[in-house]
Amino acid sequence: MSVDLKTKYLGLNLKNPLVASSSPLTGRLDFLRQLEDNGIGAVVLPSIFEEQIEHEQNQVLQLHQEGAETFPEALGGYFPAMEDYNTGPDTYLEQIRAAKEALSIPVLASLNGVSASGWVDYAKQIQDAGADGLELNVYFIAADTEESSFQVEWRYLNLVAAVREAITIPLAVKVHPFFSAPAHMSKRLVEAGANGLVLFNRFYQPDIDLEALKVRANVQLSTSSELRLPLRWIAILRGRVAASLAATSGTHTAADVLKLLFAGADVAMMASALLRNGPTHVRTLLSAISTWLDEHEYVSVEQMRGSMSQQNCEDPAAFERANYMAGLTSYTSNFEWA
Ligand SMILES: Cc1cc2nc3c(=O)[nH]c(=O)nc-3n(C[C@H](O)[C@H](O)[C@H](O)COP(=O)(O)O)c2cc1C
């Protein structure tokens, strides 16, 4: 029997809940086509960054003010390198148009920034280029000892409200899990205009190279062990916020996807698993998910989604403090204690 994998995300109809999240893989048209051929439900393009948009706006301004002869050097070494990653603001819009033309699945663009300023107008250009939705990644490190949690939260909410005002297409907000009150903050993000929450942004922690004595920023791919953080919060938020819920960080296997759906995710996003295994991994996962659901007598994703959320599961306390105490007491070590 065939299982119905259809799902809705941000009001968009997806043929299944697998989404390729923002990464270099979704920045290339050939890979996007392969992802679609292998059955992916939707794709999120790599982010375009606030700094890139502002840099370009400043350059245009300077050109007007000073003339082409005095065109300034790039402000830093980042911009040419970034444009290898996401093509830069000019051609990013072209990239959206090309993806929309090549694919029939929903295409989401991604904006990455932290301040509600002029660059936000670019969201409208993304909409005009044909994106089916926009993911706003607020990647902010609250390192200022003078900036309170209240101010940091307002920064997020102002930005979401400003982007919401600029566009009419669906807006998802990708955030980190480090708020004092993640459930309340999620609700406020939705009130500010988010149609969906993408949980969670994975911060790339800097390392120190001991020989060179330099700070290194190299990306490490995730493993399934990182799934539990989004799993918990999606289970807690399911039914409590009026928004779509997308899981990101640690989705690698069919079991990972099934767990997220049981917890209440509308979609399961993947970057590391696709970067490791390539686009054919999508087909493998879809087949394994259908087989599992069929063997367990589910006819659709709709039927099982959220049935293990905190509101619906037999043991709601398992998602909170009780789970911590139970975890500690259940630990057994192979080490022979003296
Ligand atoms: C090489 C690489 C590039 C990424 N680029 C972006 C990006 O441009 N914008 C964004 O929101 N997330 C970006 N991400 C984060 C992923 O979309 C995803 O949220 C994160 O890797 C966690 O999911 P995973 O465990 O499936 O990898 C990137 C991840 C990787 C590994």
Summarised one tens digit per residue, pLDDT across range 174-189 is 999 999 999 999 999 9
What value does the mean pLDDT take over residues 55-61? 69
For atom 5 of ligand 1, the residue with the nearest CA is 23
* Residue of 129 and 320 predicted with greater confidence: 129
pLDDT digits (tens, 9 = 90+) for 184-217: 999 999 999 999 999 999 878 899 999 999 999 8
Using the predicted structure, report yes or no on whether residue 61 has a pLDDT greater than 80: no
* Residue of 219 and 242 predicted with greater confidence: 242
For atom 17 of ligand 1, the residue with the nearest CA is 22
Provide the total of helices (H) and of strands (E) in the chain, helices listed first. 13, 12
- Burial of 95 by CB count in 10 Å (0-12 exposed, 13-18 middle, 19+ buried)? buried
Give distance in angstroms: CA of 209 to centre of ligand 1: 23
User: Has residue 300 been placed in a domain?
Assistant: yes
Q: What are phi and psi for residue 283, nearest 5 degrees?
A: -60, -45
User: Has residue 207 been placed in a domain?
Assistant: yes
As a whole-number percent, the residues of the chain with pLDDT over 90 amount to 73
Q: In Å, how far are 62, 142, 204, 285, 308 from 255, measured between CA atoms?
A: 53, 34, 25, 9, 14
What is the reported pLDDT for 132?
Answer: 98
User: Has residue 328 been placed in a domain?
Assistant: no
Rounded Cα distance between 109 and 130, Å, is: 9
User: Has residue 35 been placed in a domain?
Assistant: yes
- Total structural domains in the chain? 1
Give distance in angstroms: CA of 221 to centre of ligand 1: 9
Check: CB of residue 132 under 8 Å from CB of residue 170: yes
Domain of residue 53: give its range.
7-313
- Burial of 139 by CB count in 10 Å (0-12 exposed, 13-18 middle, 19+ buried)? middle
For atom 12 of ligand 1, the residue with the nearest CA is 22
Q: Which residues contact 110 (CB under 8 A, 6 or more apart)?
A: 22, 44, 45, 46, 47, 48, 134, 135, 136, 137, 174
Pocket of ligand 1 (CB under 6 A): 21-24, 46-47, 110, 112, 137, 174, 202, 219, 221-222, 226, 248-251, 270-273, 275
Rounded Cα distance between 121 and 165, Å, is: 10
Give distance in angstroms: CA of 19 to centre of ligand 1: 12
Can you tell me which atom of ligand 1 is nearest the CA of 22? 17
Using the predicted structure, report yes or no on whether residue 67 has a pLDDT greater than 60: no
User: Has residue 272 been placed in a domain?
Assistant: yes
- The DSSP bridge partners found for residue 20 are 43, 270
Q: With bands split at pLDDT 50, 70 and 90, how would you rate the model's confidence at 57?
A: confident
User: Has residue 338 been placed in a domain?
Assistant: no
User: Has residue 322 been placed in a domain?
Assistant: no
Give distance in angstroms: CA of 63 to centre of ligand 1: 34
What value does the mean pLDDT take over residues 64-82? 45
pLDDT digits (tens, 9 = 90+) for 15-48: 999 999 999 999 999 999 999 999 999 999 999 9
Q: Which of 18, 19, 21 to mutate to test the pocket of ligand 1 (most atoms within 8 A of CB)?
A: 21
Q: With bands split at pLDDT 50, 70 and 90, how would you rate the model's confidence at 54?
A: confident
Q: Running DSSP on this structure, what letter comes out for residue 4?
A: B
CATH number, domain containing residue 231: 3.20.20.70
Give distance in angstroms: CA of 249 to centre of ligand 1: 8
Query: What is the chain's mean pLDDT, rounded?
Result: 90
Give distance in angstroms: CA of 105 to centre of ligand 1: 20
For atom 21 of ligand 1, the residue with the nearest CA is 271
Using the predicted structure, report yes or no on whether residue 228 has a pLDDT greater than 80: yes
Rounded Cα distance between 5 and 319, Å, is: 26
Q: What is the DSSP string of 200-242?
A: -------EEETTTTEEE-------GGGGHHHHHHHHHHTTTSS
User: Has residue 320 been placed in a domain?
Assistant: no
